[in-house]
Amino acid sequence: MLIVMKTDHKSADVEAVSQRVKKLGYVPHLIPGEQALAIGITGNANAIDPSQFSDISGIKETIRVTKPYKLASRDFKKTDTVIPVGSTSIGGSDFTLIAGPCAVESEDQLLRIARAVKLAGATILRGGAYKPRTSPYSFQGLGVEGLQMLSRARQETGLPFITEAVDSESLEHVAEYADIIQIGARNMQNFSLLKQAGKLRKPVLIKRGPSSTIEELLLAAEYILAGGNSQLILCERGIKSFDPHTRNMLDISAVISIKLGSHLPVIVDPSHGSGRREMIVPLARAAAAVGADGVMIDVHDIPEEALCDGAQAIHPDVFRRLVGTLGAVVQAIS
């Protein structure tokens, strides 16, 4: 349930509601909104009778939340969530451009690409230091050394960076260095990792699992929000399909469904979402056209030498031309 407070409520009213919720054995979550303060209630197995709060003043209305995910739902928060990242932000009216190599391979490689994507208009740098690879014989990433290279690239270009944590140990390191912590598709339902990320107070981007429904994604998000970390971004990166013409099938309609059901920002990853370089530009435009909050794109200047996912990386020049056309798409639908 969601309790919406009147605009002229007193702080004692909020305290009284919180105490009553706790007395009932549930958890209150204060949600400041543009119009009014709301208090979300979680921890209840069944519907709560609103009359349990009728003696408390300052309450405007109570709203039943029927979705299994609560804090992630639009019932809980009507307005779009905006996540500040460095001097930029994700969500709201901005269209975010995240770009960089799939994996950090060397300082030279990263700096070359970071400079190029910055020049092209990217606002956030991507690059994996811990790589979840299908084969144990594939390049696994440079670990902490890679995080230090990303930090140097940030220092030089001014771009904040996103990088993936694959387990509890790497999460600690990633949280120390990164501006946004990525939880990859394979870990979307790693519930202990989600709980650990929920304890942090740093932006987290969670990618949809290749075989996960949108409701499962939103419930994964709920783990992080319920832990008290409200700086959360969702990412559509394609799902398993019967047709091998693409590596994954980018579910562009997921953006619309997520936005209808949730206030959280949605980023689209057309690189992992297709696995095919030639599809990235049109899919990125499609993402902008359906109202995504941004795209995350693999960019490599020598893709044929990439240690990871070269086939789905576009050249910095192609990225620059894409950036030049995306603004018109964003403007057309705003």
In terms of Cβ atoms closer than 10 Å to its own Cβ (0-12, 13-18, 19+), residue 193 is buried
Helix, strand, coil shares of the chain as percentages rounded to 5? 40, 20, 40
The SS3 call for residue 207 is strand
* Residues in 193-222 that interact with ligand PEP by CB under 6 A: 207
Among 11-19, 45-53, 85-93, 304-312, the segment contacting Mn ion (CB under 5 A): 304-312
Phi-psi region of 128 (alpha: psi -120 to 50; beta: other; left: phi over 0): beta
* Residues in 251-280 that interact with ligand PEP by CB under 6 A: 272
Cα–Cα distance for residue pair 199/225, rounded to 1 Å: 9
132 binds, among ligand PEP, Mn ion, none (CB under 5 to 8 A by kind): ligand PEP
Closer residue to Mn ion in complex, CB, 308/326: 308
- Does the footprint of ligand PEP cover residue 113 (CB under 6 A)? no
Site mask for ligand PEP (CB under 6 A), range 19-48, x = bound: ------------------------------
Closer residue to Mn ion in complex, CB, 115/133: 133
Q: Indicate which single residue of 185, 217, 220, 313 sits in contact with ligand PEP (rule: CB under 6 A).
A: 185
- Does the footprint of Mn ion cover residue 309 (CB under 5 A)? yes
Q: Indicate which single residue of 102, 110, 234, 279 sits in contact with ligand PEP (rule: CB under 6 A).
A: 102
Q: Indicate which single residue of 132, 143, 291, 310 sits in contact with ligand PEP (rule: CB under 6 A).
A: 132
Q: Which residue is nearest to Mn ion (CB)?
A: 102
What token pair was written down for 153?
């690239």
Helices (H), the chain: 11-23, 107-120, 144-157, 168-177, 191-198, 214-226, 252-261, 270-274, 277-289, 316-333
The SS3 call for residue 208 is coil
Contact 136, 332 (CB under 8 A): no
Closest by CA position to 183, among listed 260, 130, 227, 238? 130
β-pairing, 88-90 vs 83-85, is: antiparallel
Q: Indicate which single residue of 29, 173, 237, 259 sits in contact with ligand PEP (rule: CB under 6 A).
A: 237
Shortest Cβ distance from residue 128 to Mn ion (Å)?
7
Shortest Cβ distance from residue 9 to Mn ion (Å)?
48
Following CA atoms 245, 249, 253, 258 in sequence, which dihedral angle do they give, to the nearest 10 degrees?
Answer: -170
- Does the footprint of ligand PEP cover residue 173 (CB under 6 A)? no
Contact footprint for ligand PEP (CB under 6 A): 102, 128, 132, 164, 184-186, 207, 237, 272
Contact footprint for Mn ion (CB under 5 A): 102, 309
